[in-house]
Homo-oligomer: A and B are copies of this chain.
Amino acid sequence: MAASGGRASSAPLVGRDNEPTIFELSRPGRASWQLPTTKVPETPLEALVAPEHRRAAPVDVAEVSERDLVGHFTRLSHRQYSVDLGAYPLGSCTMKYNPKVCDAVAALPGLASVHPAAPAALAQGWLATLVALEAALCELAGMAAATLQPAAGAAGELTGLLLMRAHDEARGERRRRVIIPDSAHGTNPASVTLGGYETTTVRSDERGLVDLEALRAVLDTDVAGMMLTNPNTLGLFEEDIAEIARCVHEVGGLMYYDGANLNAILGVVRPGDMGFDIVHLNLHKTFATPHGGGGPGAGPVAVAEHLVEFLPGPRPVRLDSEDGEARYGWHTPERSIGRVHGWHGNALVLARALAYIEVHGADGLHKVAERAVLNANWIRERLSSTFDVAFDRPCMHEVVFSAAALHKRTGASAHDVAKGLIEEGFHPPTVAFPLIVEDALMVEPTETESYETLVALAEALERVAARAQEGTLEGSPRTTPVRRVDEARAARTLVATFDARR
């Protein structure tokens, strides 16, 4: 007999059982689907698909009643932490509160039901949305134009590198190296490889900033450019950015800005003004389009004037019109690198981001940065006696602590601290990143968390540190539906589908 979909014992409200998979709930003969009455002639399948193309047997998906479908996924939702449940201070991820009005925008039938191949004349509202967003992002980044196609930050990075390449090639060059600081996010070097470049890593100095000497040492005319986030992944502002940009430009390289940390500097300083030529923006971080448990996001790439001609196409553009009314169309730049998305990018994510920008406005976005940085510095200061601050200088929107000393003293690693914090009712900070800090704990409170929440978070981390001292951290978390999971076992046994389970 199939498992019961009516037992709520897997919902933490009442129990701690496992939730059966939908395949275990499945029972032949059950179904949920209902399709519209169409009155289309009911030609038999045999007449529609020739035998040589016909599937032998239907795909055994699962067979459940709508009631059990609802029970199953509702219970699963109760086994999932989310911003809406509580703070989510994951460093580098910017898990801020996402205003619900953006959900309402994304659900508008006038936006959500438009086919991507609809002719421009029938999609003027969408084109207007994209053009408005592009303009706003360019203003925020200090750039001339942008492509909205990339579906996430990493896609933006690769797009940026291909732009670098196109720029190189247009000059008849074939540079081979891209410079990345050792604190960079892993997507940066991975993208460099896919862009056909080699990564040259430049180390950070004792300030946690790019070591200028080390940088100068690796710069030559084989360098296509440098990728940097600023503030960097240590949460520190690269003060020498003007000089860095000057040096890179001097050898003919381009400056690439990884926008994952733009939240810290909205309205304060712009990548373009710092000397960057290419900028990607993580809309799902800075512009509060919810992360969806792993996506979708959007990673538009904005560029300085001299790179506009290489942008992916087709691009949404405002057309000249005689009557003064706005008209929009598509245009592909002459020397475009081509498409980087099957259609126009993650359009509904883009619409959310525009709503977010409109509701905040210039002043509101500046406040976002201020409060994000205020919160991070408060946490930094408050916890500086509990954990070691990785670098002894004020941070921007996030702060990296090291649990290395605690680890040595008590045996409890950053990982253990994270698991202990779960029991305190908080999602843990990022652990084990950036790689250059031992036992890193990277806290990004974001601007939407209140002072009280910061205090509660700090107190919770203090209690966890105390528990580490007592040696009682190891069994944590004890209050969650499952306890500490064996990651190594997962890789060793590799069961990635229900069918591989037996």
B8 touches A81 (CB 8 A): yes
A477 touches B14 (CB 8 A): yes
B71 touches A86 (CB 8 A): yes
Annotate A246-283 by CB proximity to B: 1 below 8 A, 0 otherwise.
00000000000000000000000000000000000000
Question: Does any Cβ of B come within 8 Å of A13's Cβ?
Answer: yes
Selecting from A43-51, A297-305, A320-328, A423-431, the interface stretch reads A423-431
A456 touches B85 (CB 8 A): no
Q: Given A5-B453, A425-B8, are A67 and B448 neighbors across the interface (CB < 8 Å)?
A: yes
Question: Does any Cβ of B come within 8 Å of A15's Cβ?
Answer: yes
Q: Output the nearest chain B residue to A445 by Cβ-Cβ distance.
A: B6
A457 touches B425 (CB 8 A): no
With A and B bound together, what is the CA distance between A64 and B376 in angstroms? Answer: 21
For the complex formed, measure the closest distance between the CB of A65 and the CB atoms of chain B, giving whole angstroms.
Answer: 6
Q: Given A14-B479, A97-B66, A480-B14, are A6 and B453 neighbors across the interface (CB < 8 Å)?
A: yes
Annotate A188-224 by CB proximity to B: 1 below 8 A, 0 otherwise.
0000000000000000000000000000000000000
Question: Does any Cβ of B come within 8 Å of A11's Cβ?
Answer: yes
Selecting from A72-80, A119-127, A350-358, the interface stretch reads A72-80
With A and B bound together, what is the CA distance between A158 and B430 in angstroms? Answer: 61
B452 touches A97 (CB 8 A): no
Q: Given A1-B452, A4-B455, A17-B425, are A74 and B67 neighbors across the interface (CB < 8 Å)?
A: no
A3 touches B424 (CB 8 A): no
Annotate A49-76 by CB proximity to B: 1 below 8 A, 0 otherwise.
0000000000000000111101100110
Q: Output the nearest chain B residue to A422 by Cβ-Cβ distance.
A: B14
For the complex formed, measure the closest distance between the CB of A188 and the CB atoms of chain B, giving whole angstroms.
Answer: 31
With A and B bound together, what is the CA distance between A302 and B169 in angstroms? Answer: 82
Q: Output the nearest chain B residue to A73 by Cβ-Cβ distance.
A: B84
Question: Does any Cβ of B come within 8 Å of A187's Cβ?
Answer: no
B71 touches A6 (CB 8 A): no
How many chain-A residues does the 8 Å CB contact rule pick out? Answer: 62
With A and B bound together, what is the CA distance between A149 and B85 in angstroms? Answer: 39
A9 touches B425 (CB 8 A): yes
- Chain B residues within 8 Å of A5, by CB: 450, 452-453
Question: Does any Cβ of B come within 8 Å of A114's Cβ?
Answer: no
Selected contact of A71 from candidates B67, B70, B84, B457, CB within 8 Å: B84
Which residues of A pack against B, CB within 8 Å?
A: 1-17, 25, 27, 30, 34, 65-68, 70-71, 74-75, 78-82, 84-87, 97, 99-100, 359, 422-427, 448-453, 455-457, 460, 477, 479-481
Q: Mind listing 25 A-B residue pairs with CB under 8 Å?
A: A1-B455, A2-B452, A4-B456, A5-B450, A6-B87, A6-B452, A6-B457, A7-B424, A7-B456, A8-B85, A8-B427, A9-B426, A11-B86, A14-B422, A14-B426, A15-B423, A15-B424, A25-B452, A30-B450, A34-B359, A65-B448, A66-B97, A66-B100, A74-B82, A78-B78
